[in-house]
Amino acid sequence: MAFLVSGTLRVAAQMADARESLRRKGKYNLQGPRVALTLSSPEVSASIVAVLEGVFQTLGFQSCQRRKASVQDFHGELTRFREQLDAHGGPVGCALVALVAPSGQLQQLRPLVWELSHCGALRGCPKIFLLLSSIPGAAPKPGAFLSGLSELCGRCPHWSLLQLLTEVFCRTTEEYAGATYCPVLRSSLRGALCLGDVEPWGPEPEPSPITQYDLSGTKAALLLAVIRGRSGAQHDVKALGGLCQALGFKTTLRTNPTAQAFQEELAQFREQLDTHRGPVSCALVALMAHGGPQGQLLGADGQEVQPEALVQELSRCRALRGCPKIFLLQACRGGHRDAGMGPTALPWFWRWLQAPPATPSHADILQVYVNAQGSSSRDLTPGSSNQADILTVYAAAEGCVAYRDEKGSDFIQTLVEVLRTAPQGDLLELLTEVNRQVCELDVLGPDCDERRKACLEIHSSLRHRLCLQA
């Protein structure tokens, strides 16, 4: 019994420390060892794997495992890796998994990510996935992404990983058929993640101004909101419209659009920007509606429109070439209600210890999609655009419910509050803070008596810092 109480106290203290560090400083405090795993198919060059291990060592990962397996066996290898971590007997600070396979073979990624997200030793800790596609017959040497990441990790250890990746994306951008392509990241991190050998609470130096997007031109926003049948949606529209005005966006609002009107409004918005007199520097599009079971948006007429089609529409805008395009999606992406991961035994005891609330199952995950050899990065991310300078923020993880009540949605209301507090901040870092606050909320859905969790999902192919107000 004494052993049980001692173990419970130790785990509770660790979880409370992690919660408190994120709340106080907005950074992960990486306690415990950093572990890395490379899974590569037999066709992958040994030189690529060697460079990966060098990157891991530069980032301070003490344990670096390497396993060759067919893509079909990746899931089994990850299961063994998770079991190994859970049997470790102590906290793990961070895990990094590199999956390397020929282009087109890394398609069923969700079960792989899901496997590690259920690791008890990594609860509340960052889990990083590098999803690297290799080109059959291409040069075996690593490309610009791995080389640039390795160089920057050693030279700028004080930068957060999102800052490092944004800089590497800038260096590895490619032009093809009049479009600009670059790697893509998907993040549900709840805090800044600094992997360099630096004091986790030390101040970060200001980045060079040349790394920021130039927003001196016109900033335009389009808000498309289905209000009918969505309690509290009018408060989201009012709050977001006020924020856009405060940030200097020329804003257009359309309420209760049909599915066809969603597409038509985006096309008209693009045409207006292309014919605008003077430079355009940024566009923001907010899509607020009910969502379908596969992540579709439902218009006021109940018909479906794919959000990816709306993103592609604006990515063709000539006036926005090389400029940031922001999409905010407040809609369900499925019907799953996440109970989260956290202590379930002795609830009175956990409350007495002020243990942290459950962590959303999809939180603390960073996925990076890139070509290992640095040739064209087109079609590397299943189901989404790889074009550069696009930032898409989903109010819910894939397959999950996005919560809203008569006061508005957790996502939009928290976003507005955070951006009003620090409008000069880097948007990726601010969105990470928004996610932290949303993840801490306990939600009671309209048809559920049990508390549930929500988590944002951020997709970015930005190549520079994005600060919406100078």
pLDDT tens for residues 236-264? 999 999 999 999 999 999 999 999 999 99
Dump strand ranges (E) for 103-188: 127-134, 174-176, 179-181, 184-187
Asked if residue 47 has pLDDT above 90, the reply is no
Dump strand ranges (E) for 227-279: 249-255
pLDDT tens for residues 187-241? 999 999 988 765 544 555 555 545 899 999 999 999 999 999 999 999 999 999 9
Write the CA distances from 310 to 13, 88, 254, 433, 438, integer angstroms. 46, 46, 15, 26, 26
Tell me which residue of 354, 249, 233, 214 sits closest to 288, measured CA to CA: 233
pLDDT tens for residues 454-469? 999 999 999 999 999 8
- Report how far residue 41's alpha carbon sits from residue 67's, in angstroms, rounded to the nearest whole number: 9
Clarify whether 323 is annotated catalytic: no
Number of neighbours of residue 445 by Cβ within 10 angstroms: 14
Residue carrying structure tokens 């900033």: 219
What mean pLDDT value characterizes the chain? 84
Q: Higher confidence at residue 328 or residue 71?
A: 328
Sign of CA dihedral 109, 290, 361, 15: positive
Tokens of 137: 């017959």
Confidence category of residue 13, pLDDT binned at 50, 70, 90 = very low
Q: What are phi and psi of 462, to 5 degrees?
A: -65, 145
Helix, strand, or coil (residue 304): strand
Q: Higher confidence at residue 365 or residue 50?
A: 365
Q: Higher confidence at residue 426 or residue 153?
A: 426
Q: Give, for 297, the enclosing helix (H) or strand (E).
A: strand 297-298
Say which of 119, 194, 290, 439 is annotated catalytic.
290
Q: Are 456 and 186 in contact (CB under 8 A)?
A: no
What does 168-204 look like in DSSP terms, one character per residue? HHHHT-EEETTEEE--EEEE--SSB---SSS-TTSPP
Single pTM value for the model:
0.89
Say which of 332, 400, 439, 467 is annotated catalytic.
332
Asked if residue 401 has pLDDT above 70, the reply is yes
Q: What percent of the chain has pLDDT over 70?
A: 81
Domains of the chain: 2-187 (3.40.50.1460), 212-338+385-460 (3.40.50.1460)
Q: What is the pLDDT of residue 344?
A: 43
Confidence category of residue 160, pLDDT binned at 50, 70, 90 = confident
Confidence category of residue 52, pLDDT binned at 50, 70, 90 = confident
Clarify whether 290 is annotated catalytic: yes
Number of neighbours of residue 350 by Cβ within 10 angstroms: 20
Residue carrying structure tokens 């919406």: 468
pLDDT tens for residues 429-455? 999 999 999 999 988 766 666 788 999
- Report how far residue 51's alpha carbon sits from residue 48's, in angstroms, rounded to the nearest whole number: 5
- Report how far residue 151's alpha carbon sits from residue 173's, in angstroms, rounded to the nearest whole number: 17
What does 328-354 look like in DSSP terms, one character per residue? EEES-SSSB-B--BS--S-HHHHHHTT
Q: What is the pLDDT of residue 10?
A: 45
